[in-house]
């Protein structure tokens, strides 16, 4: 699985003009599944997202993960992260996991987050979502889990 994580001061996701998720300081995790992913891959990615040290310690160095600082996490499914952009001017999506497999993997990812930490908010798989955020830093990392 792939996650693009961003440290944020605040973030929210809206679907059909209804705010369905909102966090204060924390992480936005845009998440995509690829064909070889399994439940274990989803669980491992959730562990990495929560433990990834991108929050400042007392000296201002990135030494703390989301759990250590009590940061919120907004998880948003985003299959376009798995796009093949190597050629041409149009992305290809053959490297993305089909929706019928990707949705349960995203659910497993979220369940693992919720089992380990709170607050966890989410977008909705397959929905047309508007995501608003204030990137802090900016600090953005690409994580993969195999």
Active site residues: 78-80
| 3-class secondary structure, 86 | coil
Half-sphere exposure of 127 (CA within 13 A, CB side): 17
Residue 74: Cβ within 10 Å count: 25
Cα–Cα nearest to 7, from 78, 80, 79, 71: 71
| Those residues with Cβ within 8 angstroms of residue 70's Cβ, 6 or more apart along the chain or in another chain | none
- Residue 119, SS3? coil
Measure the CA–CA gap between 96 and 133, rounded to whole angstroms: 25
């Amino acid at each position: 699985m792939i996650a693009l994580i961003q440290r944020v001061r605040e973030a929210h996701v809206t679907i059909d003009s209804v705010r369905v998720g909102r966090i204060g300081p924390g992480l936005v995790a845009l998440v995509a599944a690829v064909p070889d992913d399994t439940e274990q891959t989803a669980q491992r990615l959730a562990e990495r997202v929560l433990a990834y040290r991108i929050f400042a310690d007392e000296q201002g160095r990135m030494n703390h993960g989301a759990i250590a600082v009590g940061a919120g996490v907004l998880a948003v499914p985003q299959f376009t992260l798995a796009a093949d952009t190597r050629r041409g001017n149009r992305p290809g999506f053959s490297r993305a996991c089909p929706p019928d497999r990707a949705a349960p993997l995203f659910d497993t990812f979220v369940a693992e987050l919720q089992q380990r930490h709170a607050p966890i908010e989410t977008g909705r798989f397959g929905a047309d979502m508007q995501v608003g955020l204030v990137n802090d830093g900016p600090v953005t990392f690409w994580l993969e889990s195999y």
